[in-house]
Structure 1
Amino acid sequence: MRIPRTALLAGALASVLLAGTAHASSSSAPAFKAALAKNPIYKTGKLGYETCDEPDVQSADLDEVRVYLEGVLDCLDAAWKPVVQRAGFTFGKPTLRLTGKAGVPTGCGKFPAGAQAVYCPANRRITFLVEPGTVEEPNDLWLMVVLAHEYGHHVQRLTGMLGAMTRYNGKNAARVLDESRRIELQAECLSGTFVGSVWHSLGRKDTDFTFIARRGGSGSVLSLLGIKGKDQAQQTHGSARNIGAWLTRGYDTESAGGCNTFKAPKSQVS
């Protein structure tokens, strides 16, 4: 979920997807529930889905972006279904909704200003904002990276991770917000897992991926929000460097097993 801190804290601290600041005194990872740190999906091996027929997209025209995202969504469904089932969970497809403005209902509140896309676990829907500037250049890989990130949240929902997150009770903010940052960085890693798995079928230059990774992966849109927005992005989703590092790790390993952020030291999820 690409949401700045102000939008989250306005009404989401008691919901499933949270974000914020958390810095434990130890440099090692704290103990988390088995559903988070020892989830069976980590032992499913490589994604194993190697070919995605990536649609062409030349502009931010809503219908054109819709065709692109729906095509990539079909690939994501086909890629993750056998993995989720292999891990012992029931698979179900998410739905996709495109919108041209913030504020529309998502099923988990209104689409927040400053976000590019959100996933609602209550209705399993990905809502994607399409506006001028969404496609910076023809066939912008960033669209795939963002959609695959939100799909990563869907995988987390299907495998019980989102349901295992600590609920905010007014006194445990540090714990809740630490888990939230790890869940976001894991979704970024799962995005990289998909992109890496299908990469050779896309016919792209390696620089298409490395450019996005160095900009902070799916979170690079928040660079448009100014200094305050970037600070909020780091508090809720981790630094641009760590986002890019987890995206790259997923890309390199092509496996959910490389995305266990709940075993990572604090320095890698800050």
Structure 2
Amino acid sequence: MRLDDFDDSINVEDQRGGGGRGFPVIGGTGGRLGCGTIVIALIAVFVFGADPAQMLGSLQQQTQEQQSLPAGPAEAGGGSSVQEICSVNPFSRESCNALSSLNKTWKPRFDKAGIAFRAPKLVFYSQQGQSGCGAAQSAMGPFYCPPDQGIYIDTDFYTEMDKQMDAGGDFARDYVMAHEYGHHIQNLLGLSDQVHSLQQRNPSRANELSVRLELQADCYAGVWAGLNKDRIEPGDIEEGLKAAHQIGDDTLMKAAGRRPVEAAFTHGSAAQRMTWLRKGIETADEDQCDTFSDLRQ
């Protein structure tokens, strides 16, 4: 994918060489960009029997808290410049280029919807690091931390994608970035904590909700690509879809010598992940990413 070079406005931090253990649990939503509050309230009412007034009140408070955050990007961490951090290796540069493109793509969508936007920070670490969600461990792959609005990546994961998962290519790596950015979108809408709360109240459906959250993030990743179709090169879409297939729950379970069990899925099957990524690309419309719609039928 032909992305422009990043500029110094992006928010990056370098923890390479830091320490820590563990991995935070991220959240997500079944909402839409323009009307996510109403959608998630309907999920609570029709699926779980929650009080809509209470849900909407809590969501309004969360949105106000999001809007109160300072609008400008934070300084790059580790005392290094953005240019130095992003130039450590080719994967770092790719990630920074993708972050810049994602910011420029999604901010106008939020502005049009009248929703406060704040760009996430991108944090590079090696093996172990520290996030606002607690310690991070590279073995768990890239993740998004809602409290500090950070996308955390050990770029060694991209080598693993290529060598161990047979999911290489620049667009495959961009898809990973765009997926984690999708969780940031969900967080900015003030819905991530609400869905997490629903999962806690309904543990028997926690995995089902998690799958829907992850599939929506896949769709949002596709929307970003669809809105930048002029940057897509031959073979890019195939790379992204292959990556989505290779990180499907059933594919990963088979690779680990386990029998795929749908009830144990947390991110969605290979077919589901490919379907929602493709839908985002083809529609370029975040309103088509409502992975919860069938629960309200």
* TM-score when normalising by structure 2: 0.62
Q: Is the 8 A contact 2:27 2:196 kept in 1?
A: no
Q: In structure 1, list runs of 5 or more residues that go unmatched.
A: 1-9, 19-28, 36-60
Question: Distance in 2 between the 1:63 and 1:111 partners?
Answer: 21
Q: How does 1:196-235 map to 2 (within 5 A)?
A: 196-202=226-232, 204-205=233-234, 207-216=235-244, 219=247, 223=252, 226-228=256-258, 235=265
1:79 maps to what in 2? 105
Question: Distance in 2 between the 1:194 and 1:234 partners?
Answer: 29
2:34 maps to what in 1? none
Q: In structure 2, list runs of 5 or more residues that go unmatched.
A: 1-21, 29-45, 57-86
* TM-score when normalising by structure 1: 0.68
* Gap change, CA 1:128 and 1:11, over 3 Å in 2: closer
Question: Distance in 1 between the 2:230 and 2:151 partners?
Answer: 26
2:124 maps to what in 1? 98
Residues matched between the structures, number? 217
Which amino acid is the alignment partner of residue 133 of structure 1? E
Higher Rg of the two aligned structures = 2
Which amino acid is the alignment partner of residue 77 of structure 1? N
Higher RCO (CA 8 Å, separation ≥ 6 residues): 1
Question: Distance in 2 between the 1:241 and 1:169 partners?
Answer: 24
Which amino acid is the alignment partner of residue 240 of structure 1? A
Residues 25-78 of structure 1: per-residue CA shift (max 9 Å, x gap): xxxx8469788xxxxxxxxxxxxxxxxxxxxxxxxx952111111111011001
Which amino acid is the alignment partner of residue 159 of structure 1? L
* Gap change, CA 1:227 and 1:265, over 3 Å in 2: farther
Q: Is the 8 A contact 2:142 2:154 kept in 1?
A: yes
Shift of 1:177: 3.0
Matched, 1:186 2:195: no
1:65 maps to what in 2? 91
Question: Distance in 2 between the 1:194 and 1:169 partners?
Answer: 28
Q: Is the 8 A contact 1:119 1:127 kept in 2?
A: yes
2:284 maps to what in 1? 254
Matched, 1:17 2:45: no
Residues 83-133 of structure 1: per-residue CA shift (max 9 Å, x gap): 1222232100100012231x3222212224543210000000000121143
Shift of 1:179: 2.1
Identity value in percent: 25
Question: Distance in 1 between the 2:245 and 2:199 partners?
Answer: 32
* Gap change, CA 1:242 and 1:171, over 3 Å in 2: same
Q: Is the 8 A contact 1:16 1:163 kept in 2?
A: no
Residues 188-213 of structure 1: per-residue CA shift (max 9 Å, x gap): 100011112212223x11x3313432
**Aligned Cα RMSD in Å?**
3.5
Q: Is the 8 A contact 2:169 2:239 kept in 1?
A: no
